[in-house]
Amino acid sequence: MSIEINLNDHVATITFNDKQEVFSVETSKQLSAVVEGLEMSSRVDVVILEHAENAGGKWAALNSVQSPTNERYVEIRELSAGIQAIAALRQPVIATCAGDLQGPGMELYLAADIRFAGLNSTFRMSEAAEDRLPMSGAGQRLVRAVGRAQALRMLLLGSPMDVEEAFRIGLISSSSNTTLAEAQLAGEEIASRGPLAVRTFKEALHKGAEMTLEQALQYELDLTILLQSTEDRKEGVDAFLEKRTPDFRAR
């Protein structure tokens, strides 16, 4: 699979050039390498995944070793590494889809923070019909996105879900025929905000979701206090008082 990166105004778009039937270890390694470069870049504030369904509807591992061996365990870890890397990005990730999502494409989609979908998109978790679980933690991400009852409905029934239902339960943020344009507009808007605040928001919500409310409130307060001492915070206040666009430097 060929993965292309396009950077425009601090927004990086990851494109899967050719629609794949299977998601392979090689694809996962390519994706991990791409993510590592984005993570280290000071020029990237938002990441967009274009057409997540092109990542593939099946896992390559299902056609290989069937017994629970050490080699199979390593293979599954390598397959899931690319998607786990997307989920661990400090920058917010926006995913788009315009077709049928299942398998690795669905898992990649769930690893994003904000999800846009085309009007004809469908979403399916078909693992139970194959007597297995998701390979990259999609079950855990799904329950955090839509709640336990809706997650179990998708995971146990495995029926395709249309965009209207996906929007109703909170799986997607919006649907349209111009999902990529909508994602790019959202990415540009987010990139215009203070980059330290944007990344800290993501950190606070992701980590806070694993804490008690009291702990999460204290954690967010601690992060708020830390941000008060940054150069960007001073620049934001100065720009507001001077009625100009702030020039954030992520410092």
Per-residue DSSP letters for 79-134? HHHHHHHHHH-SS-EEEEESSEE-HHHHHHHHTSSEEEEETT-EE---GGGGT---
Q: How far apart are CA 229 and CA 125, in angstroms?
A: 45
Bridge partner list, 6 = 13
Which residues in 179-233 belong to E strands, given as ranges? none
The answer to whether residue 127 is catalytic is yes
Catalytic residue among 26, 36, 53, 107: 107
CB burial string 68-99: b at 16+ within 10 A, e below: eeeeeeebbebbbbbbbbbbebbbbbbbbbbb
Catalytic residue among 50, 53, 127, 220: 127
Amino acid at 206: H
The answer to whether residue 107 is catalytic is yes
Q: Annotated active-site positions, please? A: 107, 127
